[in-house]
Amino acid sequence: MNLVFEPVAPPLKKLNDGSIRVGNSRVTLETVICAYRQYKNAEEIVHSFPTLELADVHAVIAYALRHPSEIDAYMQDVDLEVERIRAEIESKFPSKALREKLLERLKDPLIRAKLSPETLAHFTAKFPAVAPG
């Protein structure tokens, strides 16, 4: 049996808007990386995003493992862009009263019990005022 060894480029496409998509899907690179960093394996990621192909997800994970500093820098850029957009939206549509009301609801143990551990951890990290205690 002869195995063929060939270099394979990661199945990533950069679109005009700057987003990076995986394979022939609309799923972004940051979506796959976030899922992987939340300890989801490739099969679980494909199950969550059926437009992805398993081989593409494995290839993206392999790329991320071989290029951690580039992936970290990209994820930081994405976080900065998300924060910029959030700030822009909040400046156009002030929602302080609604935000305070929603944050107050997060203190309710019945509401907290309905949230996934990841979601709860995200909110308590971002908004320490909602942390129990």
- Torsion over CA of 41, 43, 49 and 55, rounded to 10 degrees? 100
- Tens of pLDDT, residues 44-84: 999 999 999 999 999 999 999 999 999 999 999 999 999 99
- Tens of pLDDT, residues 12-40: 999 999 999 999 999 999 999 999 999 99
pLDDT band at 96 (very low <50, low <70, confident <90, very high): confident
Residues facing residue 21 across a β-bridge = 13, 28
How far is Cα 67 from Cα 6, in angstroms, rounded to an integer?
Answer: 19
Q: Are 63 and 7 in contact (CB under 8 A)?
A: no
Q: What CATH number was assigned to the domain covering residues 1-93?
A: 1.10.10.10
pTM for this model (two decimals) = 0.69
- Torsion over CA of 118, 69, 5 and 32, rounded to 10 degrees? 20
Q: Look at 70 and 128; give whichever has higher pLDDT.
A: 70
Joined together, the tokens standing for residue 45 give 């990621």
Nearest to 71 by CA among 82, 58, 60, 80: 60
- Segments making up each domain of the chain, as ranges: 1-93, 95-133
Q: Look at 119 and 129; give whichever has higher pLDDT.
A: 119
